[in-house]
Structure 1
């Protein structure tokens, strides 16, 4: 996830998220990407953290706001996982 190439970071973050094992090394690496300058990387980090049931995804998703016009389908897929985590956490 530390690779300079954005697409490599995204792929690594997606793979780390989909392991769903709660490993602190993985979740902390994904959390570090929440402040990445590219929104695509931030979205995948939110997605990965949500899959690990890491509460840091909730505030990060709020800060990202709604999906952007023209990117709605792609961004909604990532944000939806964080929203579902938040609902589960709240018992909704």
Structure 2
């Protein structure tokens, strides 16, 4: 179904296509060759909403290839903040764990959007990146109204607590 609409003239229709291209019946979504090709084209779409959706799907189906990694890094550096934010959210939990992806996440810590900064730092923490401490500091205050139950902030507190406990034990 998605392949038929990948070239649709309406960007709202094209934005629905990436989710339709994935086969969710497997532990990690897989792509057919045609779906893969369509998704790579959609990741370069002129409409930012299409690119944002493609970033999430590419990240979910990341196959470890340099082609996917390069596109994901490009989306993390997209000129549109919403594309960067959507891609960072998907990448935080993903299997895309190359140095280039980690570097792109680190660059997102300068974003104005708190959610993007949270996802970037959380992605580095999950990758056990040596820059995690710096990333957490760059997020800003960890006591934020409305974020009392945020799993990312909880993970940051736990990470800091564990480091402090280790230091005290030495």
2:100 matched to which residue of 1? Answer: 25
Q: Deviations over 1:60-91 (max 9, x none)?
A: 32341123213333xx3222223334427964
Q: Normalising by the residue count of structure 2, what TM-score does the alignment of the two structures yield?
A: 0.44
Residue 15 to residue 57, structure 1, CA distance change in 2 (3 Å): same
Please tell me whether residue 83 in structure 1 is matched to residue 157 in structure 2: yes
Unaligned runs of 5+ in 1: none
Higher helix share: 1
Query: What secondary structure sits across from 2:100 in the alignment?
Result: helix
Residue 4 to residue 90, structure 1, CA distance change in 2 (3 Å): farther
1:50 and 1:26 map into 2 onto residues whose CA distance is 13
CA RMSD of aligned residues (A): 2.7
1:37 and 1:89 map into 2 onto residues whose CA distance is 29
Number of residue equivalences: 90
1:60 and 1:47 map into 2 onto residues whose CA distance is 8
Q: Normalising by the residue count of structure 1, what TM-score does the alignment of the two structures yield?
A: 0.72
Please tell me whether residue 67 in structure 1 is matched to residue 146 in structure 2: no
Structure index of larger Rg: 2
Q: Deviations over 1:2-47 (max 9, x none)?
A: 2234333222112222124531011000000011122221111111
- The one of the two structures with greater contact order (alpha-carbon pairs below 8 A, sep at least 6) is 1
